[in-house]
């Protein structure tokens, strides 16, 4: 054994001197490393911007940054492995498993990865103090962008030297102006970062948000906000024809109203309520609610039909504003029309469930009649809804519960689609929200961090029933493809079955699921009616199976004989419960 130990020692000694095991030339650096790092820095800057805008809490932001660089490091590691020769000594050691792994090699030729927490939140506020060099992490960049944006709104003028402020107003070239404002913003960050920059930015952001809200209301010609303008301001505003010039004047007016504190919180609140009322009226007009359409003259009805055909949002807004000036359109009528619009949707969802809440509104005869309606169920539900409203069986408190139930169900559905990354729903998100969604990991985090994304989708006018139905179809189809559901597989062509089975890579398989589901939906092979029948049948069989799993075999025989005429029932039964 002593001789063997000497041989081993000499082997290690001279191989180390000669560099036989690992040489510097064996460390192959991927040409894409710099690109990956640059992409990471860009995404990190955008995450910081979301943090500064209040879209992410410090804890959420920190986790997103950590996940981002973990992913970048992983991508660099995979890219390095792809460029590494098979007989490279480092690669041989890695694949052997005896002397290291891919992570160690990534640190040699790629990136070290995260070293502890890159940031911490100051105990006195939310300004992010950095552990790492700003020159390396570039996390000062989003702060400069934030301050630059606030400078444009004029809420930081008191921090800018008069010469610089005058120069900002005289520069006409937009690129030069943006560069100069960035340099001014950089100066402010440097001067104030140790003197309560967080408090300065918080107050400036609050002022900017109020300006932004007032500007939106001015653009919408809000009566409440216009009431705070003097005669000269209104005259000047009406005389301007150029859109760009008008935009600048409106922005200056919004700033003046905030600086002079001419718009109280009460006025702002009233303006917001009026805007919500206008949005409701627009919704009723777009769906041509009978209670609202009955108030229109023949010419107005023709005009409304034309607007709805072209889907002109601006024309619809102006039409709604004109109608709101009419004394015949009072708040009570709008509430009743809105109620009548919502009740059918509520009835459809709850009558079939036969919930206790809906049973209090309807009679047993109503529910029995609904069960018998198959071809014209929607028509019956609409008639029943009108009947409930006409008889005042639906109160405002019930309507509020109705809206709350529908909203909760819709929110839950949207959260599920976001978790599954259903294309129809994800495509509605802004670029910022897509970044947030991409970085959300884990069930506990998802439930909390999906809330703001769901809320923004709930207010998106593009999210209609047709889009939701399509998303639901896709979800069921993809789940069926993943689980090899007989019902879904039956819909596929031979070529699609081959495509489905040929891919082993997860990304390629996910792409094939999407392309196949696209084809099935576009070809009409799986419609909304079929989906309803499929889900109802599957739920029925699932419930029956759960009752029978502990039951007698004779009962199972009776059930299979009862449903023998439904060919597809058997395919939903577990194999061990199917009769030969």
399-457 pLDDT, tens digit per residue, is 666 667 667 778 888 888 888 888 888 888 877 778 777 777 554 445 666 777 887 78
Asked if residue 416 is part of any domain, the answer here is yes
Which CATH number does the domain housing residue 92 bear? 1.10.132.30
Residues 527 and 454 in one domain: no
Number of domains comprising the chain:
3
Residues 93 and 35 in one domain: yes
Q: Which two tokens stand for residue 564?
A: 């023998």
Residues 449 and 535 in one domain: no
**% of the chain beyond a pLDDT of 70:** 66
Asked if residue 212 is part of any domain, the answer here is no
Asked if residue 519 is part of any domain, the answer here is yes
Q: What's the pLDDT score for residue 119?
A: 43
Check whether 57 has a pLDDT greater than 50.
yes
Torsion over CA of 277, 283, 285 and 290, rounded to 10 degrees? -100
Predicted TM-score (pTM) of this structure: 0.42
Last residue of a domain, one of 117, 136, 164: 117
Last residue of a domain, one of 439, 463, 487: 463
Distance CA 52, CA 42 (A): 15
Residues 529 and 547 in one domain: yes
Coil, helix or strand at residue 109: helix
Residues 438 and 481 in one domain: no
Residues 478 and 428 in one domain: no
Last residue of a domain, one of 117, 143, 172: 117
Mean pLDDT of the region 38-59: 75
Residues 101 and 41 in one domain: yes
Coil, helix or strand at residue 167: helix
Mean pLDDT of the region 467-492: 84
Asked if residue 274 is part of any domain, the answer here is no
Residues 457 and 517 in one domain: no
Asked if residue 351 is part of any domain, the answer here is no
Asked if residue 169 is part of any domain, the answer here is no
Check whether 141 has a pLDDT greater than 80.
no
Enclosing H/E stretch for 452: helix 443-458
Per-residue model confidence as pLDDT tens digits over 144-170: 777 888 888 788 888 888 888 888 888
Distance CA 278, CA 320 (A): 7
Mean pLDDT of the region 171-197: 80
Residues of the domain holding 105: 2-117
Residues 8 and 112 in one domain: yes
Burial (0-12, 13-18, 19+ Cβ within 10 Å), 474? buried
Mean pLDDT of the region 302-316: 84
Nearest to 280 by CA among 219, 338, 329, 325: 338
Q: What's the pLDDT score for residue 332?
A: 72
Q: pLDDT averaged over the chain?
A: 73
End-to-end CA distance of the chain: 68
Asked if residue 52 is part of any domain, the answer here is yes
Asked if residue 452 is part of any domain, the answer here is yes
Residues 429 and 491 in one domain: no
């Amino acid at each position: 054994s002593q001789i063997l130990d000497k041989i081993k020692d000499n082997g290690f000694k001279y191989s180390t001197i000669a560099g036989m095991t690992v040489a510097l030339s064996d460390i192959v650096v991927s040409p894409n490393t710099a690109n990956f790092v640059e992409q990471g820095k860009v995404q990190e800057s955008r995450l910081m911007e979301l943090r500064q805008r209040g879209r992410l809490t410090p804890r959420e932001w920190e986790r997103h940054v950590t996940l981002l660089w973990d992913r970048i490091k992983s991508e660099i590691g995979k890219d390095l492995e792809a460029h590494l020769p098979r007989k490279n000594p480092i690669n041989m050691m890695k694949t052997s498993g005896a002397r290291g792994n891919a992570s160690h090699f990534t640190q040699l030729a790629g990136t070290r990865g995260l070293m502890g927490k890159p940031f911490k939140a100051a105990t006195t506020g939310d300004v992010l103090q950095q552990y790492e060099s700003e020159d390396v992490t570039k996390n000062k960049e989003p702060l400069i962008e934030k301050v630059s944006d606030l400078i444009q709104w004029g809420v930081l003028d008191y921090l800018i030297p008069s010469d610089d402020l005058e120069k900002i107003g005289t520069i006409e070239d937009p690129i030069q102006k943006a560069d100069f404002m960035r340099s001014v913003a950089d100066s402010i960050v440097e001067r104030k970062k140790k003197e309560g920059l967080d408090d300065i930015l918080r107050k400036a952001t609050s002022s900017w948000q109020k300006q932004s809200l007032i500007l939106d209301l001015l653009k919408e010609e809000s009566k409440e906000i216009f009431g705070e303008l003097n005669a000269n301001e209104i005259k000047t505003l009406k005389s301007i024809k150029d859109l760009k010039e008008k935009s600048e004047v409106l922005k200056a007016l919004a700033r003046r109203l905030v600086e002079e504190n001419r718009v109280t919180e009460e006025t702002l609140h009233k303006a917001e309520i009026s805007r919500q009322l206008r949005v409701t009226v627009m919704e009723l007009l777009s769906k041509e609610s009978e209670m609202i359409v009955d108030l229109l003259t023949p010419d107005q009805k023709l005009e409304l039909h034309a607007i709805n055909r072209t889907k002109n949002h601006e024309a619809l807004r102006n039409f709604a504003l004109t109608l709101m000036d009419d004394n015949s359109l009072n708040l009570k009528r709008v509430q009743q029309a809105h109620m009548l619009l919502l009740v059918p949707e509520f009835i459809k969802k709850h009558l079939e469930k036969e919930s206790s809440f809906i049973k209090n509104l309807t009679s047993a005869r109503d529910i029995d009649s609904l069960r018998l309606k198959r071809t014209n169920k929607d028509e019956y539900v609409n008639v029943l809804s009108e009947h409930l409203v006409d008889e005042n069986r639906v109160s405002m408190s019930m309507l509020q519960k109705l809206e709350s139930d529908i909203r909760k169900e819709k929110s839950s559905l949207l959260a599920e689609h976001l978790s599954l990354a259903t294309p129809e729903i994800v495509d509605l998100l802004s670029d910022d929200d897509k970044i947030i969604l991409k970085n959300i990991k884990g069930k506990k985090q998802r439930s909390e961090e999906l809330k703001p994304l769901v809320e923004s989708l709930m207010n998106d006018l593009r999210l209609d029933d047709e889009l939701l139905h399509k998303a639901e179809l896709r979800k069921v189809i993809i789940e069926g493809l993943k689980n090899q559901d007989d019902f879904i597989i039956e819909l596929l062509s031979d070529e699609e079955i081959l495509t489905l089975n040929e891919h082993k890579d997860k990304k390629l398989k996910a792409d094939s699921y999407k392309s196949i589901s696209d084809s099935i939906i576009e070809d009409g092979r799986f419609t909304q009616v079929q989906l309803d029948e499929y889900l109802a049948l599957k739920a029925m069989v699932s419930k029956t199976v759960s009752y029978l799993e502990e039951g007698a075999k004779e009962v199972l025989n009776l059930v299979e004989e009862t449903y023998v005429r439904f060919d597809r029932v058997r395919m939903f039964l577990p194999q061990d419960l199917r009769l030969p």
